Structure 1
Amino acid sequence: MPKRITLDFLKTESASGLILAGAALAAIAVANSPGDGLYFRLLSAPFTIQLGGFSETLSISDWVKQGLMAIFFFVVGLEIKYEALKGELANPRRLALPILAALGGMAAPALVYLAFNLAPGGAPQAWPTPMATDIAFAMAALAVAGPRLPASLRVFLLTLAIVDDLGAVAVIGVVFTSRLHMVALVGALAALALMGLLPRWRGAPYLLYAVGFALVWGFTLKSGVSTSLAGVASAMAVPIGPRKPGRPGVLEDFMESLHPYVAFLILPLFAFCAAGFDFAALKLGDMFGPVAVGVAAGLLLGKPLGVFGVAALLIGLKVSRRPTGAKWIDLLGVSLLCGIGFTMSLFIGELAFPADGSAQAQVRLGVIAGSILSALAGVGVLAWSQGRRAAAAQP
């Protein structure tokens, strides 16, 4: 079962990466077309949701970010829990390399970004922007570049990206929570506690888990804490065991049923809302401003420096081993693919500059440029490595 779940996950992620790319390109095209005014007005249009005593008015863009993306983080939480209990993260011998490489891959990009933004005129508050790897794009790029490379590289990249996501969620909760409404926060914790009691009822309907998630999300939205934490925390309350013997686990059912909707609908919609920026509104100085350059350099240089540097150190000290069958050049190629930061980087960038259109445009430019360059570099290195393997295998 774990192997089947992981393979299904990889297949969906690889396919959804192409759709994400299409959504991002469509957003940029529309934002620079005669219909750009309609695009930006639609994203900023207020929309009110009222249900009983709950009432909230946000822009369409914010509803996608705070509402639909909470479902994305719920699925991320399910994947983290599954991998920790039954998947790759459950094997202690395989943990050291991807986990420590992921930590290096979070620290180095942040330092590279700060190097460009600590001087006057910089924006150091966006230092977490280049930290995370986009699983969908990275897995899609790996599938295109090296379909016959060792499977251990895919597992390494998947595990590293999951740890990346967990670290990014933690940073979001700590850095971007400015005001706390304690009554709402207590309500969220109480709803989460009730959700945690549901596994005691072995036959609890799935609808009750959905209601529990909605309550945790609603209270979290009102509390001032990022709803990304509501998604991950709610996922931790979902049991991994089956409701009936011989049946798939509850967590697996949720993960398999929600993941395609997240990969093929929610993430492309978020990309369409978050990636669009008007080139005409960017001055030449903005294109090469500290935010844009810092984000792009953090992804293109900081990510592989942190991931490959830490991995090489661990392997050199014989603390860990290279992924089975992988060469140094393969590890470098995967490290470059880790610089594809798209979804989470755009999400963090919007949190860092909630009301600064110019800075958000710089973030989007930096994320897109850094991710594209990282993808091209990683694909190029891995394709070259695969070509060398093929040539060596010929008689």
Structure 2
Amino acid sequence: MNQDSTRFPILEPFQRFIRAEAAGGILLLVFAVVALVWANSPWAEAYFDVWKNYVTVGFGSAAISKPLLLWINDGLMAVFFFLVGLEIKREMLVGELSEGRKAAFPMAAALGGMLVPAGIYALVNGGTAFASGWGIPMATDIAFALGVLALLGSRVPLALKVFLTALAIVDDLGAVMVIALFYTSELATGALITAGALFVLLIALNRLGVQRTAVYVFFGIALWVAVLKSGVHATVAGVLLALTIPARRRLDTRDFMDRLSSYTERFGQTLPDEADPQSASDEQQDIIHSVEVAAKNAETPLV
């Protein structure tokens, strides 16, 4: 039986939900409500104990042992910021933010989104014991902001999604810098220098045309560890890594089309009338492999 024709009706509602654009936003809000209810229930202690469990990654002196909560905040959120950073970079190169005037708008809005809440907080709490907390309302919760947009799906214009994403990420990075400068008791200078050196190295790799994903993964993890050890929030590493991911392909569109036409012609010449359509000769396999290589070179890690 053809695998595509096999259907499991009981799974269809779940599959439709996963494919829906709003699925991520719905899950985010549902679990946020669950967390709020659990944290304010008689079982609140069990809720907080879950996040205090230590998880160790690595071995020996290279091991990092952190509570589960920090792995999520510093680890998974760094990956999230990396993906969002890629989206922003793509939009700045070829999308809604490719014009200077359009790019400046969300940045100005983000600046206002940091200064106005901090100013209101300072006015309300000035002269009290809580006055030093002015940096708390500066950040935008980018995950919830994008989650709400996901709930609205295609009804939200692309320009609005890009604007809010750019605003939120600039706002969050600004808040992270404020925390690092005004609320971090001690920054590890050595780790900061290492992080800076790794960032410069990643930029150099980009300029040299290195496009192997494994290289950026390796040095990206090293950058994340250095930022984590420095005392600055590790999500900064995700954005910095996204900025260094190459945007240029090895083959431009015209070269790719020329090679594809050549490979198609060669492949057609290897098809005698009596050939078995279900099998491929060594020469055909070589041509297919060449097409795969050309397609890979026509792509960019910034996808």
Q: AA paired with 1:99?
A: M
Aligned pair 1:187/2:182, yes or no?
no
**What pairs with 1:309-388 in structure 2 (closer than 5 Å)?**
none
Q: What stretches of structure 1 move > 6 A for 4+ residues in a row?
A: none
Q: Which residue of 2 aligns with 1:258?
A: none
Mapped to 1, the partners of 2:148 and 2:216 lie a distance apart of 35
CA contact under 8 A between 2:96 and 2:159: conserved in structure 1?
A: no
What CA distance in whole angstroms lies between the structure 1 residues aligned with 2:150 and 2:237?
32
CA contact (8 A) 1:13 1:140 kept: no
Check if 1:251 corresponds to 2:302: yes
Spell out, residue by residue over 1:213-252, the C-alpha distance to the aligned partner (whole angstroms, 9 max, x if none): 1111112222222212222222222111124444332122
Q: Choose which of 79, 86, 90 in structure 1 pairs with 2:98.
A: 90
CA distance in 1, matches of 2:213, 2:156: 39
Aligned partners of 2:23 and 2:151 also within 8 Å:
no
Contact 2:228–2:234, Cα closer than 8 Å, also in 1: yes
Instruction: Give the C-alpha shift of residue 40 in structure 1.
Output: 1.2
State which drifts further: 201-210 or 101-110. Answer: 201-210
Distance 2:126 2:115 in 1: 16
Distance apart, 1:25 and its partner CA: 0.8
Native 8 Å contact 2:110 2:168 kept in 1: yes
For the pair 1:229 / 2:236, whether they are aligned, the reply is: yes
- Aligned-residue CA RMSD in angstroms? 3.1
Q: What is the rounded CA distance, in whole Å, between the counterparts of 2:226 and 2:85 in structure 1?
A: 19
- Residues 284-295 of structure 1 mapped to structure 2, 5 A cutoff: none
* Structure 2 CA distance for partners of 1:22 and 1:41, relative to 1, 3 Å: same
Q: Distance in 1 between matches of 2:209 and 2:299?
A: 13
Assess, with a 3 A threshold, how the Cα gap between structure 1 residues 27 and 225 changes in structure 2: closer, same or farther: same
Partner Cα separation in structure 2 for residue 79 and residue 189 of structure 1 = 23
DSSP 3-state at the match of 1:53: helix
Instruction: Return the index of the structure with the highest Cα Rg.
Output: 2
Question: Pick from 36, 55, 58: which aligns with 2:63?
Answer: 55
Bigger RCO (CA 8 Å, 6+ sep): 1
Structure 1 residues 13 and 92: CA distance shift in structure 2, 3 A:
farther
CA contact (8 A) 1:47 1:58 kept: yes
Paired positions, count:
241
Counterpart residue identity of residue 65, structure 1: N
Match of 1:128 among 120, 129, 135: 135
Q: Contact 2:52 / 2:67 at 8 angstroms: preserved in 1? A: yes
Q: TM-score, normalised on structure 2? A: 0.67
Identity %: 42
